Amino acid sequence: MSSSKEEDGAVPAAAKGSWAPFLKSIASFNGDLASLTAPPFILSSTSLTEYSGYWAEHPEIFVAPAQEKDPQKRALLVLKWFLTTLKQQYSSRNEKLGSEKKPLNPFLGELFLGKWKDPTGKIGETQLISEQVSHHPPVTAYAILNEKHGVKLEGYNGQKASFSRGTISVRQVGHAKYHLKEFDEDYLITLPSLHIEGIVYGAPYVELNKSSTIISSTGYVAQIDYSGKGWITGKKNTFCATLKKEGSKDILYTIDGQWSDGFVIKEGKTKKELETYNAKTTEITPLYIAPIEEQDPLESRRAWAKVQESINTGDLETTGTEKSKIENEQRELRKKEKEEGREWERRYFTRVMDDPVFTRLAESCEIVAEEGKTDGIWVFDEKKFAQVVEKARTGGEAKAEVVNTAA
């Protein structure tokens, strides 16, 4: 874990009294991030269901592999896309809001829906479907679809946390699958574990740990090793990735850099520089979502509207009251379901015990055993999706759209 003097005094003066008791409380933390009572200045008004959108904030990079005929170069483009998502996933709150924040804990069935439009017509529309498929333990499932290029990303994500030596360590449970229709090609993406730095200074930020992997059905394996700023050497958010053919020691490509800053792609043998990527200057495409009044009552921004407004204005009393209203409503729903002997029907996802694509690709890495612990695998249910699309079509629910301006 790193430390620096510049982080001293990061806790806002008015909040200083609440940070020490918070530090004490996390020392006896039980691993359930949702149950952490964080001081108000560290609360975000964004629900965790929104985080699924970080996978495709550069739609042109998301669909680029679909336009590449060479399987080796395609595997490289998938790795490149994955690396470009890291800045958004893990440091965007820090940059926008001044520090990492604690997101709103989504309720079961919560939805976050949107699309990235494409006025050029070259990329086509990319659609986001994110749904909270479990509340205890919290699990968010997502699908990101681009019909024009036949690209589909689906996955799910939960977190297991622990506290030791002044930091919160988080292991991500779940995985993502990237599918290219034209080549009938799949990529299994494992999720990096992370820890929160800067907690003692009241300026939390995320650092990624160890390594993660991308395995393709065409036999390419990418390994990404993460490291951070140490006491003496190293830069924050550093990584070093390699792409190899499965079973071979030859490195086809290397990609090195800082995921929050930029990286360089080089050819393995010759070390010839092929491309550089600047994470700071590459603009994101804003997600378009329906205006609140036209959203489904289960959609995140509509359901949490009052809580979000009160967090943003610092009205703690209303935050508490409005949050309790949602929690009580949820408790009532679960009670009723139990009495009636039924389970909440997920709108877009289904839990399966065996996913052939996952099993085939996971065989060559260590994640199979881990997945067993998640009590099944959440998959995007095309049938359910088709039914929702049909219902919207016949019901004539044309939704107007606005730019997503939230932090």
Nearer to ligand HCR, 177 or 266 (CB): 177
Residue 85 C-beta: closest distance to ligand HCR, Å = 8
277 binding ligand HCR? (CB under 6 A): no
- Binder among 84, 132, 157, 295 for ligand HCR (CB under 6 A): 157
Choosing from 102, 229, 351, 384, the residue that interacts with ligand HCR (CB under 6 A) is: 102
* Three-class HEC string of 95-138: HHHCCCCEEECCCCCCEEEEEECCCCCCCCCEEEEEEEEECCCC
Interface region with ligand HCR, contact rule CB under 6 A, candidates 34-42, 116-124, 317-325, 370-378: 34-42
90 binds ligand HCR (CB under 6 A): yes
- Per CB under 6 A, does 378 bind ligand HCR? no
Sole binder of ligand HCR in the list 10, 38, 97, 365 (CB under 6 A): 38
Task: Give the range of 48-56, 106-114, 234-242, 361-369 binding ligand HCR by CB under 6 A.
Answer: 48-56
Burial label for 234, CB within 10 Å (0-12, 13-18, 19+), is: exposed
Choose, by CB under 6 A, the member of 46, 47, 49, 89 that binds ligand HCR. Answer: 89
Footprint on residues 57-76 left by ligand HCR (CB under 6 A): none
Please tell me the number of Cα atoms within 13 Å of 394 on its side-chain side.
Answer: 5
Q: Does 100 bind ligand HCR (CB under 6 A)?
A: yes
Kindly tell me which of 57 and 355 has the beta carbon lying closer to ligand HCR: 57
Q: What are the residues facing 115 on neighbouring strands? A: 127, 288
Residue from the set 7, 11, 42, 265 that interacts with ligand HCR by CB under 6 A: 42
Q: Does residue 259 interact with ligand HCR by CB under 6 A?
A: no
Q: Which of 172, 209, 285, 330 binds ligand HCR (CB under 6 A)?
A: 172
Q: Give the residue, chosen from 7, 11, 33, 139, that forms a contact with ligand HCR under the rule CB under 6 A.
A: 33
Among 51, 163, 263, 378, binds ligand HCR (CB under 6 A): 51
Our finding on whether 200 is near ligand HCR (CB under 6 A) is: no
Stretch of 11-19, 168-176, 277-285, 378-386 contacting ligand HCR, by CB under 6 A: 168-176
Nearest partner of 117 among 359, 307, 399, 391, judged by Cα: 399
Partners of 187 in the beta sheet?
A: 178, 216
Residue 311 and residue 319 in contact, taking contact as beta carbons nearer than 8 Å: yes
Q: Which is nearer to ligand HCR, 111 or 199 (CB)?
A: 199
On the CB side of 40, CA atoms within 13 Å amount to 18
Task: Spell out the long-range contacts of 272-281 with Cβ–Cβ below 8 A and sequence spacing 24 or more.
Answer: 275/80, 277/80, 277/83, 277/84, 279/84, 279/87
Stretch that binds ligand HCR, among 100-108, 215-223, 286-294, 394-402 (CB under 6 A): 100-108
Q: Are 158 and 33 in contact (CB under 8 A)?
A: no
- Binding of ligand HCR at residue 78 (CB under 6 A)? no
Backbone dihedral region for residue 247 (phi beyond 0: left; psi -120 to 50: alpha; all else: beta): left
Could you give phi then psi for residue 355, rounded to 5 degrees? -115, 110
Q: How many residues bind ligand HCR (CB under 6 A)?
A: 22
Decide: is 41 part of the binding site for ligand HCR (CB under 6 A). no
User: Is there binding between residue 159 and ligand HCR (CB under 6 A)?
Assistant: yes
Q: Based on CB atoms, which residue is closest to ligand HCR, 205 or 263?
A: 205
Find tokens 């603009």 and name the residue: 283
169 binds ligand HCR (CB under 6 A): no
Contact status: 106 vs ligand HCR (CB under 6 A): no
Site membership for ligand HCR, residue 206 (CB under 6 A): yes
CB 127 within 8 Å of CB 95: no
- Name the residues that contact ligand HCR, by CB under 6 A: 33, 36, 38, 42, 48, 51, 54, 89-90, 100-103, 157, 159, 168, 170, 172, 196, 199, 204, 206
